Each structure stands twice: as C-alpha cells, then as structure tokens.
Structure 1
C-alpha cells in the first residue's frame, strides 16, 4: 500500500469495508482508540476517490453541528438576507460524498435520531431548519466509528446500531506494525523499530490486563514516539509521547517498567 494508507494484519478488514461501500451499506468500525479506524475511513475515501466529510461527536453535538445553520449574508444587490449554510451531513448528501461520524457513541442519544432517514433505505432528510427535503446523491456512503467502554461513551441506541454492518478493527502488531512505523514515521533504524514493536506488544498485554489505558498503546502514540526517537533518546521520546500523557502514577510506573525491560 502507498505511504500513509491503512494496513491491518487481517486483510479482510479493508476488503470487507470496500465491499460494503460498493453495496451502499452503512459501516460501523468498532475497536479501541488509536487502532486506525479513521485511517481506514480515509484510505477507503482515497481508494474509491470520493471525498469525505467528518463529524466529530461529543456531548455538545447538536443538530446545527450535523446539518448546518442559518446566518445573514449580503447578496449581489447589497441587501441582507437569511441563508442556510450546509453542515457536513447535508454537504455529503448533496455531493454524493462519504460521511464519516467519529466516536458516534460520544453523542447524546437524543441527537442522532435526526439521521435515521439518512441511514436507512430512504437516504433522505427533512431539514428541520428550512423544511427542505434532501435526497442523497449517488455515491453517498456513511461510515461511523465507535470506541466501546471508553470514558464518556454511552451505549449505542439499538435502532441506530441496526442500521449499520459492524467491522471489528483491532490493533496491529508484528511485521505489519513494523511496516507501518517505517512508512508513516521518520524512523528507519530497523533495530530500534524492532524494539519499539516489542515494547508495544508489552503495552498491549498490559492494556488487556487492565494495568494501563488503551491510549498508551495506540498506533498514533507509536508514530509520534518513532518520530521523536529520530531527534532524542528513545526513553525520552517515550516519556514525552506516552508517560507524560497519563495522570495515574501506577500506569506511569507500569510503562516505565516496560521501558526498562525493552530498552
């Protein structure tokens, strides 16, 4: 794959996601934070050559964040008029683009039902701000990502979840992770990359045992660590990119122990 594209030990993850897009199925990418869900969506967008509009969910997400808002503009005649500025959902629908909804279970449950008609066979939306009925143009697809059990997340509404086909996206490891570090970071020292991959394996074991949070073992953090390791000692790079982000002293100590073992 080209530099910066999504790679996984399980090739069926990308293959199935691409097949689901061809069938115009809504895709729900389910997996831990930093496992590459957004990178997978971006790679799908690049592969099918269809632009992607992104919604980042939070408890503050409201209908305006999804659909757009009214504002006052001056027209060609110098007169002021009220116009509606399309948000990411309507932009993607009108243009036949991909809509990516990140961390969909961070949104308040009462916010998302507005998308029910967008996510089912109708592929349409009645804009509550203007009354306009919008039908999605050909090519429109929806991809969402979910971090289950993550702090701040809520159980996903079953009626909403039933509108998606789920693909599990897990962390990568071994030679695949080594390839990703070489392709997506500035580090080319293979012996150091091998040590970092082993270090990450130890972190993954600790996350499964509940000793440290999933953030500490994310691919994102490893890429940052690898970049910093080209300009400073690897131990200091780990301090900056992983340890100092954690607030729990026990987690910090657990990672420092893994550093001692690997470096």
Structure 2
C-alpha cells in the first residue's frame, strides 16, 4: 500500500499531537472548512490517508461528510475527483466511456476517462459519495483499486491502470436510508471507518458565522438551539435524520439574513419533510424559539 507525504505544516501538527496531544488542528483548516466536533476525527483521518488507507465517513445526512472530504483534500493539497453513487451507477460512470471523435477528416473511437481513471492516473483523491446507494454488483469492479494492488483493468480499453503516487480514496455513507444497501464485507474491510456526528454548540455557531449571511448574534444563538432540539428529536425517533441536517440549517440561516427566520425554516427544513406530523413538530419548535 503506497504512503503519501503530508504538507509540512500538517506533519508538524501531527508530531506535536503525538508528543503533547493538544487536541486541536483547527488552525490548519481554512475558513468555511469542516471543523469536527472532536479533533481526533480529523487526526485519525489524516493519519489513515497518509498511511495509504481508504477512509469511510459514516454519519447522518447533512452532518458535513462532503465538507470533511473537501477539507482533507485541501490539507493534503490534493485535487479530488468525485463519484456520486445511485442505482444507475455503472462501469462507465466509474471508468469512462467510448465516443466518436475526429482526427482531421477521419472518424475514430475515443475514450473519455471517468473519475476513477482520472484520479488514479493523476495521483489525486477519489471521493465516492453515498457508496451504499450503488448496486452491489457494480462496486466489486474497483476492489483492486481499494486494496494493496491499487490496480484495475479498464473493461472498455483493456488497459491495466496502476494508481500513481498520491492516489487515495475517501467514501461516504448514510445508513438506513431508502434505496441504500448494506456494504458487503469484502468492500467494508477495505476501509477505515470514521463516524461523523452532527456539529453542535460553539462549533456550529462559528460555522454559521463563517459560511452564511446571517450576522445577528442573537438569531445565530437561536439557530444553534434549534439545531440541538432537532438533533434530540431525531435521537428520540420523533423526526427523520434529514430534519437535523446541518446543510439545511445553514440554508435557513442564509435565508434569515433577508427574510424572517420562521419563514426561512419553513423553506429550508419544514417543507422537505414528508409527514404532516413532522412538519408541525418543527414549526412548533421554530414558533417557540423565534
């Protein structure tokens, strides 16, 4: 399994953590980047990737898994190619496809590389989003990409591709959603799993301040409280996970810079829910706070 060099600043902080365990990598993260609830999450992801291991970010929707992957890409100074999984994902979506092209007046068959091919040849990160949305028979195609071989035979060109130095794989998974399937053991065992919980409290407040148009501190504090109440309701089984999506909350905060918070919550959170009981629950929370 190939290993990768970290940028110097990241190396220094990892070494400092090994010696003193300061518990913070926050200064490494650019504004708007993912700041995890526990800095060990970031440290463990950095260490695993630097050792050449694949990581699987596991957590509820809107918890920041994609932002986490983007932050890791930034820290490693690595571009990132993405695969968005669905039941329609096929070999062409992963590897690329053949198409007709012209060389002068002559018509030829050309191959347009897909994200797996590009990431391997470029020595970049590959991000596989919602990996458990793909059909079980599709993903075994890349088993060799995910283990020590880092190699695949392109089924469309018969080219044997071995990943260049710097290639790494980050995947994300939402558990228990309609349309998802359990990962088979052969696939799961190729990953280091990192649980990504919701961001709460002061970290959520800072994220709202850094990434949305909302500036009123009192309103921001109320949105932080609303998020905590929504998370509690999800944990108690009163609401589905999407009701506590941090992504949706940030959208509501953004809108609240220009319209009333209750209306912003209606547009960004309430109207996404399927059941009237769930919608009324969130509207009551918003009414109580705002």
TM-score normalised over the length of structure 1: 0.98
The yes-or-no answer on 1:237 pairing with 2:264 is: yes
Aligned residue among 135, 138, 163 for 2:165: 138
Aligned residue among 26, 35, 52 for 1:24: 52
Aligned residue among 161, 181, 184 for 2:188: 161
- Matches of 1:70 and 1:29, distance apart in 2: 32
Work out whether residues 140 and 187 of structure 2, in 8 Å CA contact, stay in contact via their aligned partners in 1.
Answer: yes
Unaligned runs of 5+ in 1: none
Q: Secondary structure at the match of 1:73?
A: strand
The yes-or-no answer on 1:172 pairing with 2:192 is: no
The yes-or-no answer on 1:51 pairing with 2:79 is: yes
How far did 1:260 drift? Answer: 2.2
Report the equivalent of 1:2. Answer: 30
How far did 1:175 drift? Answer: 0.5
Aligned counterparts, 1:30-179, within 5 A? 30-75=58-103, 77-179=104-206
Aligned residue among 188, 203, 209 for 2:230: 203
How far did 1:214 drift? Answer: 1.0
Report the equivalent of 1:259. Answer: 286
How far did 1:261 drift? Answer: 2.0
Unaligned runs of 5+ in 2: 1-28
Give the count of matched residue pairs: 262
How far did 1:91 drift? Answer: 0.3
Aligned alpha-carbon RMSD (Å): 0.8
The yes-or-no answer on 1:218 pairing with 2:257 is: no
Work out whether residues 54 and 168 of structure 2, in 8 Å CA contact, stay in contact via their aligned partners in 1.
Answer: yes
- Matches of 1:95 and 1:55, distance apart in 2: 16
- Runs of 4+ residues deviating >4 angstroms: none
Work out whether residues 208 and 253 of structure 2, in 8 Å CA contact, stay in contact via their aligned partners in 1.
Answer: yes
- Matches of 1:97 and 1:155, distance apart in 2: 27
Work out whether residues 37 and 197 of structure 2, in 8 Å CA contact, stay in contact via their aligned partners in 1.
Answer: no
How far did 1:78 drift? Answer: 2.0
Report the equivalent of 2:19. Answer: none
TM-score normalised over the length of structure 2: 0.89
